[in-house]
Each structure stands twice: as C-alpha cells, then as structure tokens.
Amino acid sequence: MVKAVRVRFAPSPTGDLHVGNIRTALFDWAYARHTGGTFIFRIEDTDTTRVTDEYIAAAIDTLRWLGLQWDEGPEVGGEYGPYLQSQRLDIYAHWAQKFIEQKDAYYCFCTSEELEARREAQKAANVAPGYDGQCRDLSEEQIAAFRSEGRQAVVRMRMPDGETTFVDQIRGEISFDHKFVPDFVLARGDGSPLYTLAVAVDDISMKVTHVLRGEDLLSSTPRQIRVYQAMGVKEEDYPTFAHLPFVMGQDNAKLSKRNGEVSIAWYRDKGFLPEAICNYLALLGWSPGDDVENITMKQLTELFTVERVNSSPARFDMKKLEAINGDKIRALTLDEFLERSLPFLKSAKVIAGSQDEIALVNSALPIIQERITRLDEVPAMLKFLFTKSFAVEEASLSKVSDAASKDVLRRSLTELEGIEEWTHDSIEAALRSSLIEELGLKPRIAFGSVRIAVTGSTISPPLFESMELLGKTVCLERISSALAL
C-alpha cells in the first residue's frame, strides 16, 4: 500500500524569505499537488535569538502572495498542529527526556569554552573536529557533582559506531561513516530544542513522507535518522529525502543582496508577477523536458516530478526572470493587467484612483502591454496622459526647438485642428498626408517631433493611439506650447 504523500516546507525565518527558500517551497508545493498529497507549512523557530514574529508574518504573507496554498500550517491549522515549533516545546522535551532514559542520549556538562579549546586542539593535531565523548559515560555521582557546581547540561545524542546509508531521491545512495558524525546536541542547557531534534520529531509526528529541502541539510541527514531510530520509528516509516541543489548568485557563490536581490518582497515591489517568479524558479534545478519553458502553475503541478530535478547548483539570472515576466504580462487579460497595474500607478502618484482615471488607464493599457517587462514600468509609460504639469524632457528639448521641427509642428497644428472625429486613424491619416506626402518628410523625423511635443519624450507608446487617448484639446495645447520653446 502506498502512503498518501505529505510534504512540508519548513523555513526558519531569520530574515525575509529569499529566492532559495521560495524555490524549495515551490518544489514542495508542486510535489504535493502533483501527487495529490498534503502540503504542510511549518515554522522552525527554535532559534529564538534570530527568528522574529515579523519575519514569520512576512513568510506567511509571501507564500500567500505566490499562491502556494498550504493544507496544514499557520492560520489554517491541521490535525498535527501546532505548526510553530515554539509552540511544541513540551513535545521535544518529552523526547529528549526519553532518549536520556533510553541511554540514546546523555547529559553533557562541557562548557562552550572547553569545547572550543578542545576543537582547536583537534584541529592542531589534524584530527577530525567533533565532540570527543567526554561526558558519554558520566556516573550519577559525577552528574550530581556537576549540578551542584551549578553547571547546566545539554542533551547530547550518542552516535553509535557504524554508518548511516540512505537513498536520496536526487543524488542516489549516500552513506556517512559515524566516525565523521560526532555526538550532537539535541537540547540546549535551558532545555530548548535544537533543529536536529525538532525537525526529526516533527517530521515523524506530522507523518511527513517526503523531505525536499536544500542541499545544505544533506550532511545533517544521518543525525536526523539517528533521532528516528531513538524514537523507535521503523525504517519503512522514515521520510524519503531529496536534497535540492542550491540557487546561487550571478557570479560567485551565495545569493546575496549585492548581486541579484534576494528578498521576494523586493521582486514584488519591482512589479514581478508571482506566476513569473514561480515559473522562472521552477526552471532552476528542474526542467519539464521537451523544450518546454513557459508554463502555468497548473502545468507545473502536472509536470513536476523529483526524478527530473537536477543535482547541480543553478545560478540566478535576472535577465531571464525579466524575459519570463514580460511573457507573463503579455499573457494577462486586460482586466488582470488593470487590476495589477493600479497599485503601481497609485503608489507612483500618477493617478489618485478616480473612475475617470481608471477608465483612461483601461483604454491605455493595451498599447503598453507588449512594451513592458515589469509592472513598475507602467507609471512612467502612462504618466504623459495624466500629468498636470507637462513639460518636454530635458534631453529632448533640442530635438523640437530647431527650425525644421517647428515647421512640422506648425503644419501639424493646422491639420489637427481641422479633424472632426478624433481617432487614431483620422489623426494618422491627417498627419501622413500633410507631413509625409506633402512635405515629403521621413516618417521617423516628422512623427518624432510630434511625439516629443505631445508625450514629452522620444520614447512613447504608439503616437496616434496616444494622441487619441490624450484628446484633441490637450494635444493642440502641447503642440502650441512646444512651438514656443
């Protein structure tokens, strides 16, 4: 019988979720959806010095925004909650105590300073650094003696001789000789749990069947398996592991704030679409094959399998993300495009949000949809339609103030004044016959001058459509004032 798949995304929010976290979340989610399984969202906040409530809230918000809906976790609950490790402390304490009783773990009274000193000595002696087992076989009397000195004990797991072998779904069989897996700490001196304890206990008690996570956790796997053993879990009930390759920065190693922004919030502000981020991230370390690249979230869930996940690290490429974002923007319906553009227009103060403004934006969006890569470009593109204080941009001034341009503008003015029905077709017809045919000018020269006068820039959406949207009165005003420059 095949167990129903249960996958978890379990970040430790010590900062804003970054690109690597999201890629992991995406794969976890896609795998759960592909298999018809359950997607669990768990917060690993055992390091209270680094995890804050704000980061936790931000993580929840980010996942929501990306559309990675979880079936169990914060805010939605679930049968195996709570889903914040800080609320499960008693569970970990219970197991730590049990391990002590079973002699799988022991109290260790070595202080950080002592350990540090011994590690240094090991390094100097060219021995693999790690806990030397000094407190492994303390007698009751010795323990009592340490306690009476006021020393606090950590709970340390006893690593038996031998090796741990497991099959990673992405990398194949991997084994670790316990000689290189020293006894590790399960709980701090104050009794609070460490990652290795909490993650293993939770994966088992939440009945997680598949652990897809970053490859930085690969070498902690034997420790986790050791905890399963101490918990008395049967081998067939261990989760299946799959360690995802890293997502790295542009040139060198780790993704950092310097090369390619890492915080998802930044991408959101820049006008990247969640579906574009997901599509792009899905391609980092995974490929659907068949030369397919542009896929929807739904297709991702249909196509995603761990078998097709790569084992080698991937570099993050902003250019490609932008290309995909552009594709996704072009694929938007007008309604969607409008809805998503409005917040950017408002925050850029291009519009206040009146019905009239929104109607005008709605008419203007089609002509810029294929011209932008990010939503935050919308305000600059449409600003000329709304600005109260219109002025030709500095760099283009000289291109409309020369004699030839003035001729063009003068002629345009008279032609345009005569137009009865102000549409882009009639505007184009009027300007073509007068400027191109009669004056014999090159279109790019003639229309270039008009463009600067009307939009204020050498770059704009299509001229005649823009003029239609602006309206006859405004166009004539702007051309007149350009003549005065």
Partner RNA sequence: GGCCCCGUCGUCUAGCGGCCUAGGACUCUGGCUUCUCAAGCCAGCUACGAGGGUUCGAAUCCCUUCGGGGCUACCA
Catalytic residue annotation: 257
Stretch near RNA under the rule CB under 7 A, chosen from 25-33, 257-265, 307-315, 476-484? 307-315
Among 460, 469, 470, 482, binds RNA (CB under 7 A): 460
Cis peptide upstream of residue 82 (ω within 30 degrees of 0):
yes
Instruction: Characterize the bridge pairing of strands 105-108 and 154-157.
Output: antiparallel
CA-to-CA separations, 250 to 183, 259, 260, in angstroms, rounded: 37, 6, 7
Between 1 and 318, name the residue whose CB sits nearer to RNA: 318
Among 82, 130, 133, 249, binds RNA (CB under 7 A): 130
Among 98, 315, 340, 472, binds RNA (CB under 7 A): 315
DSSP code per residue over 124-142: HTT---S---TTTT--HHH
Residues 415-434 that bind RNA (CB under 7 A): 428
Between 230 and 255, name the residue whose CB sits nearer to RNA: 255
Helices (H) and strands (E) in the chain, counts: 20, 11
The C-alpha atoms of residue 484 and residue 305 are separated, in whole angstroms, by 66
Among 124, 253, 352, 484, binds RNA (CB under 7 A): 253
Question: Is residue 92 near RNA by the rule CB under 7 A?
Answer: no
Residues 166-225 that bind RNA (CB under 7 A): 171-172, 174-177, 180, 182, 184-185, 188-190, 194-196, 199, 215-220
Between 128 and 403, name the residue whose CB sits nearer to RNA: 128
DSSP code per residue over 142-163: HHHHHHHTT---EEEE---SSE
Question: Is residue 399 near RNA by the rule CB under 7 A?
Answer: no
Number of residues that bind RNA (CB under 7 A): 87
Among 90, 235, 236, 370, binds RNA (CB under 7 A): 370
Question: Is residue 472 near RNA by the rule CB under 7 A?
Answer: no
Question: Is residue 8 near RNA by the rule CB under 7 A?
Answer: no
Residues 18-47 that bind RNA (CB under 7 A): 44, 46-47
Question: Is residue 459 near RNA by the rule CB under 7 A?
Answer: yes
Question: Quick one: residue 67, left, alpha or beta (phi over 0 = left, psi -120 to 50 = alpha)?
Answer: left
The C-alpha atoms of residue 267 and residue 327 are separated, in whole angstroms, by 16
Secondary structure of 351-382 as H, E, C letters: CCCCHHHHHHHHHHHHHHHHHCCCHHHHHHHH
Question: Is residue 291 near RNA by the rule CB under 7 A?
Answer: yes
The C-alpha atoms of residue 271 and residue 267 are separated, in whole angstroms, by 6
| CB of residue 155 to RNA, shortest distance in Å | 9
| CB of residue 14 to RNA, shortest distance in Å | 7
Between 239 and 448, name the residue whose CB sits nearer to RNA: 448
The token duo for 93 is 């304490």
Among 289, 354, 394, 421, binds RNA (CB under 7 A): 289
Q: Which residue do the tokens 């399960």 mark?
A: 186
| Collapsed DSSP state (helix, strand, coil) of residue 428 | helix
Question: Is residue 112 near RNA by the rule CB under 7 A?
Answer: yes
Beta strands in 171-223 (DSSP E): 172-177, 185-187, 210-214
